[in-house]
Amino acid sequence: MPLQLEISSHAGLSFPLRRQGDSPRLSPTLDSSHSNFSENRPGPVPVGALQQQMIAASRRSFLVATILIVALSATVHGRIVRYQTAIRSLANGSATFRTVDAIPARDEANPARVFTGGFYSDQFQIGTTVPGVTSKNREDGILAALTNDPETETWETDWLLTVDCEGGDAVIDDIAMGPDGLLVVGGTFENLAQFEREGQNPVVLNGNGLTSFIALADIARGTWVRAQIAPEMVVRSVAVDGEGTIFVTGPGSLARSYSASLQELWNIEEPPGTLYPHDIAVGIGEDQPFVYVQGVLGTQGNNDLDVFVVQLNKASGETRWNTRVSSLQGSERPGGLAVDSRGNLRSAVSSDGLGLTVAETPVKDNPTQAARHAHLLFLEPEEGKLINDRLLGNSNEPQGVMEPHNLDIDYAGNTYVAVSFSGSFRFRQKDHAGVEDSAVIVTDARAVPMRFIDSEGNARSEGLDVAAAGRNLQFLVGEVQGTTVEFFGTSRVEPAQVNKAFLAILEPPADQQRYLITVETTEELEALTSVIDEFEGESYRVIDEPSPNNPQRRIHLVATHLTTEQFALLPQNIPVDRIQIDRELTRNGSVGGADWAIQYLNGPDGDFDSPDDNYYYSDTDCEIVLYLIDTGVNPATVADWGWSSIIGPVDEQGDPPVGGGGAAYTTPDLNHGTEMLSMIASVSRGTPITVVNYNIYPDPLVPTTVSDLISAINQANLHKGLNHPDKQAVFCIASSTTDPGITYPTLVSAIETSVDTYNATVLVSAGNEENDASNFTPSFLGAEIEGVICVGAINSKGAKVDDTRTGPEMWAPGDAVGTIRADGSSWTMTGTSASTALAAGTALIYRSANPFLMAAATEEAMKSSGDDGWGGIPGPDGFPKVYVPNPTVPGSADLLNHMSYEDWTEWYSYLTPLDADGVDDLNGNDIDSDGDGWTDKEEYFFLGSDPSPGTPGQPPFDTGSGNGYRNSILGCYRVHEQSTLVFDFPLACYLIDQQKLSDLQNDGAVNSLLLRDGSELVIERTNDPEAGIWETWPNMDQLESDHAAVPSGLGPDTAIMRFAVDLPEDAVDFYLYRIRITPPSP
């Protein structure tokens, strides 16, 4: 028969424990009509209330929940980018573009646009769609707008605006895009300038000699809006923050601020020793309230010049710090300034000295010989200290000259520097020879070198500014002049005797493809990446990492963009089956709208067309980790769900998805991930969850591929092993490939590691479109790996949702499911993303309620519960539906209980000489595997502690009696003037079914506590221990759980159970009490 544990009373010390929770649950969606639910009872949730507010999984009041947001791959994830188009100015006369800004494509109706300004003489024309213009005197300012035509893949001129100056020269020096769609333009003119306006009189400015102006241009209508003089300064650089406030710098003023309507707010004079200010940049958000100015220190004619970078308060102009960039026996020049999305600063400088320092801190990436080099400096915003640097090319000859002119940063943190250079420079292990050439040099957010894209030819080409509309679209502008052709990639710039303005556009080649290549060893991986670098492929992901507990599963992978020509250059010894297309993933949900879905999870008895029906959830105790591999989520919205008092601070890792530095940036869509989390939380609101979010869709302009998914899963595995090795986990992946293809051994290995090594249940979506899920990645893994569940979408009638795939392992609601979007608004989602989210929320409940289930056992538990809970009503094709047991219905509540002693021993992965009933084969007794004084089954039932063999410990309940555990586990003390005896004992909380405890307390016919593994706990007493006659204590309904502090030596998986016995005044006899637990029959 099964071993029975009998614990007798002992008049000793009591050790009250705090249970993991049982404080009042925060549930903002419950209205007054539901206020009668008891503190610890699982309660119904009115489904209709989710339209107003969706709360996340409530945490116990002293368990801190966290959301860890990991933005994957801050490095470049773009494709191969080359000069695809180069356009120079036409007509008679000279021209130069000095500044550029750009807007990426939003959709077909809003294609990419670029704006560039400078000056011209005589006549100017660019492209053939807009007539040319003629200057009024020698040089006039010019502003041009071009738009991409996606059908023809050409760039067409939209409009030309001029700054006409009859009395001298006019120049546009800088432009910056404002948040209101107006372009801020700064420059100079001599004596008089005129700005033509559509449908209005022109703006005429009267100056006195060289005069600066600030103007606003409407990019939609192609007209000047207004212009005014900026007195007593020479405007050289312009920046605009997210509120539309304008900042300018130049000789005569360190910095000046204007409102969006061009009202001066403040002006800061140049400090002593300033030769001239050169660049200005500003942080975009409210958390970046700073303006930065870069300029030159020294005196005119002095060859020992230094660069300064100063931080000013955005509201007042007050100086906060001033950093000096200098070298030994060298002269420094400024070359651009920008702020990244995290508020860190990038500064480009050139230096012909050695030993460059920033605030006396030496740079790390130094040239090997004296020449004029370009450096990219990374400065932190608090004190202006150097945090990183990158030499933008090491000169191979002492006569080399590289001059940076400006830079830009995309929202992922990649930096693009426009340079002009002569001589040979080495960058990324490759030499680049220049003869008065221009280039765009790129590093990632960590200063890792990425690209050196230069022009070729004998003409003089000077790149003066760069705009990064995204990681797949950049623009270089400047001037070119010579008697020979200058090549930007394969695009020709024809010879010209005078300076001509050019616009070079960097875009991906049409014939490139994404490849995912796996090799066997680290050495092979290093050789492969070296070869790809040599022929200038773009490796956007390299993984060479082991599973911490599974070194044999080390992943050696490179994901790369290759053109047809480059693919032919790959080493021939790579097996064909190791080279796959890195297929694109899509999020498997579409927005569309009755919040029927979560009540459907409770089974067939609900009225799914009624928004007022309740969803019943279970309170579970064990904390569980959700790895949400999706888009990012909006932490502010998550806090608004009602988590603000019980959620820890959001830990954001990686670069946030917004831009800085005055350029126009796209913002990643956080809706899908936030909606997924809102649906998951709506199901598992009684479960304590830590959320770790991996954003595999950081860039809406760049496709997300299988390699992104592999990288995220690998990182999640590492994170789980390092941070949550002993916790249950659920991976939620609601993405799948758009094209068929399942030959990804590295993905299979990564998922197997998640399931086998880290015991994570993995939920994958079947995918949308009419097709079979088994032909798509990662959906096919549901049928391949136990512990991975592929989820399909059904509607309220139990039928498959149209345009979703067949062949999943389980079905869940996926038609117009209520969600919360990133901005906090209510929405609905249709598709297998929604069904996967609800299944993931269900898996969290099962794993938290059964914290020692392995991943494969969890899958089986969910499937069997679904079959039983739906009463044999399967989903389409006979596969089970996802089911959340209703804790208020006894037959249903039992379907959540899947705990067993065998699962517990498997979780701790130890071997003992036990047969099926847990009894020592040798002598029939329970054994103590780790020698700590408690038998294995005592640890399982009462302590919830690790029974694995190790260093024997001190029994936490040893009172010094030497009688062992059984004489001290049941503590006893007197209260109420000696009239009452109170007994307490610990019980593993994963065995406590709150509903069963409630039934015991409320039903006099119940005389035992049924535990979640099927064991039966009874309190017995005897007044004749020698006769061995024991009776069940008649007041079992008074057994309750106590939630005081956990005593030393017991972990969070224990709770205190307590009962009291009244002592009559005339009592003569006494009772001996014991606890008897009878495990279920095998």
Give pLDDT, residue 14: 23
Across 473-482, 573-582, 668-677, 730-739, least confident range: 573-582
Question: How many Cα atoms are found within 13 Å in the side-chain-facing hemisphere of 323?
Answer: 26
Give pLDDT, residue 951: 41
Tell me the three-class secondary structure of 643-662, residue by residue.
Answer: HCCCECCCEEECCCCCCCCC
Tell me whether the CATH fold assigned to 44-75+585-886 matches the one assigned to 513-581.
no
Give pLDDT, residue 551: 53
Instruction: Say whether pLDDT at 208 is over 50.
Output: yes
The Cα–Cα gap between 163 and 171 comes to 8
DSSP symbol at 756: I
pTM: 0.66
DSSP symbol at 1038: G
Q: Given 3-state DSSP classes, what are the helix, strand and coil percentages for the chain, each rounded to the nearest 5?
A: 15, 40, 45
Tokens of residue 672, six digits = 């899908």
**pLDDT tens by residue, 827-854:** 889 999 999 999 999 999 999 888 888 8
Across 121-130, 525-534, 645-654, 687-696, least confident range: 645-654
Q: In terms of pLDDT, which residue wins out, 254 or 587?
A: 254
Superfamily (CATH) of domain 44-75+585-886: Peptidase S8/S53 domain (3.40.50.200)
In the numeric block, the tokens 């519960």 are attached to: 865
Across 203-217, 355-369, 758-772, 945-959, least confident range: 945-959
Would you kindly state where each structural domain of the chain is located, as residue ranges? Answer: 5-19+904-1078, 44-75+585-886, 89-231, 513-581
Across 192-206, 263-277, 801-815, 890-904, least confident range: 890-904
Tokens of residue 17, six digits = 């424990």
Segment 589-605 mean pLDDT = 68
- Amino acid sitting at position 371: A
DSSP track, 790-840: EEEEE-TTSPBPTTB-B--SEEEE-SSEEEE-TTS-EEEEESHHHHHHHHH
Pick the CATH number of 513-581 from 1.10.287, 3.40.50, 3.30.70, 1.10.3470: 3.30.70
The Cα–Cα gap between 615 and 600 comes to 8
The mean predicted confidence, pLDDT, of the chain is 80
Tokens of residue 510, six digits = 């049409």
Segment 17-41 mean pLDDT = 23
Give pLDDT, residue 546: 66
The Cα–Cα gap between 177 and 665 comes to 10
Tokens of residue 27, six digits = 């549930």
Give pLDDT, residue 592: 39
In the numeric block, the tokens 């221009």 are attached to: 438
**pLDDT tens by residue, 735-771:** 999 888 877 888 999 999 999 999 999 999 999 988 9
Q: In terms of pLDDT, which residue wins out, 1074 or 480?
A: 480
The Cα–Cα gap between 870 and 326 comes to 75
Q: In terms of pLDDT, which residue wins out, 743 or 323?
A: 323
* Distance from the first to the final alpha carbon of the chain: 9
Instruction: Say whether pLDDT at 964 is over 90.
Output: no
Facing residues of 427 across strands?
430
Give pLDDT, residue 365: 96
* β 237-240/246-250 pair status: antiparallel
Instruction: Say whether pLDDT at 906 is over 90.
Output: no
In the numeric block, the tokens 């509309």 are attached to: 469
- pLDDT classification of 71: cutoffs 50, 70, 90: very low
In the numeric block, the tokens 């062949």 are attached to: 807
Give pLDDT, residue 261: 93
**984 within 8 A of 1036, measured Cβ to Cβ:** no
Instruction: Say whether pLDDT at 32 is over 50.
Output: no
- Name the percent of the chain lying above pLDDT 70: 80
Instruction: Say whether pLDDT at 279 is over 90.
Output: yes
Give pLDDT, residue 1066: 59
Q: What are the b/e assignments for 478-505, b being 16+ CB within 10 Å? A: bbbbbeeebbbbebebebbeebbbbbbb
Instruction: Say whether pLDDT at 16 is over 90.
Output: no
Tokens of residue 158, six digits = 């939209």
Instruction: Say whether pLDDT at 554 is over 80.
Output: no
- pLDDT classification of 613: cutoffs 50, 70, 90: low
Instruction: Say whether pLDDT at 957 is over 70.
Output: no
* β 624-630/728-733 pair status: parallel
Indicate the angle between helix axes 745-752 and 706-723, nearest 10 degrees.
20
